[in-house]
Structure 1
Amino acid sequence: MGKTAFIFPGQGAQYIGMGKDFYEQFTVSREMFELAEKAAGLDVASLCFEENERIHITEYTQIAMLATEVAILKAIEEKGYRPDVTAGLSLGEYGALAAAGIMSPENIFRIVRKRGIYMQEAVPRGGAMTAVLGLPADIIEKTCEKIEGSVSIANYNCPGQIVITGEAEAVEKAASQLLTEGAKRCIPLNVSGPFHSPLLAGAGEKLSEELRDVEVHDIKVSYLSNVTGDYVTAKEQVKSLLVRQVSSSVKWQQSVERMLEDGVDTFIEIGPGKTLSGFIRKISKDVKAVNIEKIDDLERI
């Protein structure tokens, strides 16, 4: 019998109203929003449910997304479902930490609130990100290495879709060169900074201080890191990997391929949108990928 993975999306999928039906119908979900509010010092429910622009600003997006993901996760757990494996893309890795029981929800909410602030503060002027479609990773890696300035791979999403990040001029030059090398398209992303770039190493250093006294529990559910694209085998590795994750490439495709090797054949995306489900279908057509963002989704599954 195959294994089931719970997977969690990163920022970019957020929208007003996300998680509201769980908040209204599951006591445990409402408790998670209230815990996030207490830990972050923000009215997270209003941030998620009422019209506002802050939800699309990194320092607010991250806590809003995570609160929604953990609220849905707890409703799923209340129904008796548990994963064999868990992973998340970028911010979503913190949802995976919750699913694996590695940190308490309260600590995760507090850390992610700080993470969002530090990443927003660390954003340099002139940063950019661009999605590159239709080229193998090795060509993109070699091209980035040749470009003057800071440009590197932010996300290995799936075959034919990789995101580059760094200084705007360097990213633009790399994109132009990649088009001549056969890229189908290079699409600039509407983001507030060059995330998962060495330019954000300072945010990781500040996060390290926040993580210093956080308790890390034994790993009870298999959990994969964005930094390595592989399983985290010891709880002593968790904090350093989370620090590195801020400025390292997100190895999502590698993580999924590792789970496939381990016998995972069902992926349940928990949270807003179907982005990760789409990536997984491009990585393998032989597995099931579904999402839970509404109560109807949970009941159907």
Structure 2
Amino acid sequence: MGKIALLFPGQGSQFVGMGKPLYDLSPTARHVFDQIDSLHHGTSKLCFEGPTTELNQTHNTQPCIFAVELAALSALNCIGVEPQGIAGFSLGEVSGLVASGVFSLEDGLKFVIKRGQAMQEAAQMVPAVMIAVLKLDHEKVEAICKEFNQCYPVNYNCPGQLVVSLLKEDQALFLKRVKEMDGRGIPLTLSGGFHSPFMTYATNQLESKIYELTFLKGTIPLYSNAYAKPYPESPVDVRSYILHQINHPILWEQTMNTMINDGFSTFIECGPGKTLGGFIRKIDKSVTYYHVETLFTDYLDAKNAGKEWSFVC
């Protein structure tokens, strides 16, 4: 087996009920949920019970996904999974900073709460939307974006899928242009134009807040999704990377290719949903993919049957 990487998904992966199986099955995951609840009251309840309208508000979504991801991380640690690398999609990169040892859980939660609040405020200032464009090469989508005044390619997810952020007033015309190019446009249920200049307000708001956090030396390489390479060690550079990510594109396809070229061949999605698994199968079908809940259930089945745990770390 090659090197193992953990992948933490971002906003958009949330759903009511997320994390509940891990809470029920893993005492260590339950402890993480309880710990986060003590710091940010009601997080677990919102994850498990919703309602959806409340869960989907950015200032709620981000700490909730963070909680699920850190609980999932604790469950994997408990069964002996030892990653050699980490990547997180957008918000998931904050969970990655905790998993890599750069942030404590407490500081990671503080930052993700402030991040969610700042991004929601930025979204309310400019009516912007996000659209996933399918079936077109990235270059064609980039060309369509140039036809509009404020339209930005922001999430390079995988071959044939690029998400853009643009003004809401241009949505209908943009979708028409995509269809004319034989592509397919899918409006996303997100509250703003993330990872674009629409989020510069949020970056500026967080710039002063980030100095309230303690930065430690990471013990596991974390790959930046905005630069498609590992995070540097310098706290000054780490701060820069974190802030840059908020109003710049997510280079997920490039990040995965970098990790694969660096010898990673097993990827475990550590959070709600299986979106990142879908992306990586389109990037490179030769790699092995697991989802945390499936892996943990397999471990419990082996344990209950008195069999040896078959996942080789």
Q: TM-score range by the shorter chain?
A: over 0.9
The 5-angstrom pairing of residues 101-140 of structure 1 reads 101-123=101-123, 124-140=125-141
Structure 1 stretch displaced more, 114-123 or 167-176: 167-176
Q: What SS does the corresponding residue of 1:221 show, helix, strand or coil?
A: coil
- State the match for 1:284 in structure 2: 284
CA shift, 1:299, in A, is 4.1
Provide the C-alpha distance between the structure 1 equivalents of 2:291 and 2:26, rounded to a whole number of angstroms: 18
Question: Is structure 2 residue 246 aligned with structure 1 residue 246?
Answer: yes
- State the match for 2:231 in structure 1: 232
Identity over the aligned pairs, expressed in percent? 36
Contact 1:129–1:166 (Cα < 8 Å) also in 2 = yes
Provide the C-alpha distance between the structure 2 equivalents of 1:163 and 1:172, rounded to a whole number of angstroms: 15
Provide the C-alpha distance between the structure 1 equivalents of 2:38 and 2:213, rounded to a whole number of angstroms: 17
Q: Against the structure 1 CA distance between its residues 243 and 38, is the aligned structure 2 distance closer, same or farther, given a 3 Å change threshold?
A: farther
- State the match for 1:10 in structure 2: 10
Residues 10-33 of structure 1, C-alpha deviations (whole Å, 9 max, x = no match)? 122212222223223433222222
- State the match for 1:145 in structure 2: 146
- State the match for 1:187 in structure 2: 186
Contact 1:292–1:298 (Cα < 8 Å) also in 2 = no
Residues 180-220 of structure 1, C-alpha deviations (whole Å, 9 max, x = no match)? 3342x111122211111211111111122221121111121
Q: What SS does the corresponding residue of 2:218 show, helix, strand or coil?
A: coil
Residues 53-107 of structure 1, C-alpha deviations (whole Å, 9 max, x = no match)? 3111111011111101101101111222211110011111112112211110111
Q: What SS does the corresponding residue of 1:293 show, helix, strand or coil?
A: helix
Q: Against the structure 1 CA distance between its residues 206 and 189, is the aligned structure 2 distance closer, same or farther, given a 3 Å change threshold?
A: same
CA shift, 1:277, in A, is 0.5
Provide the C-alpha distance between the structure 2 equivalents of 1:293 and 1:155, rounded to a whole number of angstroms: 26
- State the match for 1:83 in structure 2: 83
CA shift, 1:289, in A, is 1.1
- State the match for 2:268 in structure 1: 268
Residues 110-153 of structure 1, C-alpha deviations (whole Å, 9 max, x = no match)? 110111111111113421111111111122223312322x1101
- State the match for 2:306 in structure 1: none
Q: CA RMSD in A?
A: 1.8
- State the match for 1:176 in structure 2: 176
Q: Against the structure 1 CA distance between its residues 140 and 51, is the aligned structure 2 distance closer, same or farther, given a 3 Å change threshold?
A: closer
Question: Is structure 2 residue 26 aligned with structure 1 residue 26?
Answer: yes
Contact 1:39–1:107 (Cα < 8 Å) also in 2 = no
Aligned length: 298
Question: Is structure 2 residue 35 aligned with structure 1 residue 35?
Answer: yes
- State the match for 2:62 in structure 1: 62
Provide the C-alpha distance between the structure 1 equivalents of 2:168 and 2:134, rounded to a whole number of angstroms: 18
- State the match for 2:256 in structure 1: 256
Would you identify which runs of 4 or more consecutive aligned residues in structure 1 move more than 6 Å?
A: none
Q: Against the structure 1 CA distance between its residues 297 and 9, is the aligned structure 2 distance closer, same or farther, given a 3 Å change threshold?
A: farther
Provide the C-alpha distance between the structure 2 equivalents of 1:289 and 1:51, rounded to a whole number of angstroms: 29
Contact 1:73–1:270 (Cα < 8 Å) also in 2 = yes
- State the match for 1:223 in structure 2: 222
One-letter code aligned to 2:29: S
Give the TM-score, by structure 2 length.
0.89
Q: What SS does the corresponding residue of 2:229 show, helix, strand or coil?
A: coil
Provide the C-alpha distance between the structure 2 equivalents of 1:125 and 1:153, rounded to a whole number of angstroms: 17
Contact 1:273–1:293 (Cα < 8 Å) also in 2 = no
Provide the C-alpha distance between the structure 2 equivalents of 1:160 and 1:7, rounded to a whole number of angstroms: 21
Q: What SS does the corresponding residue of 2:186 show, helix, strand or coil?
A: strand
Contact 1:102–1:218 (Cα < 8 Å) also in 2 = yes
CA shift, 1:179, in A, is 3.0
One-letter code aligned to 2:30: R
Q: Gapped runs of 5+ residues in structure 1?
A: none
Structure 1 stretch displaced more, 286-295 or 265-274: 286-295
Q: What SS does the corresponding residue of 2:163 show, helix, strand or coil?
A: strand
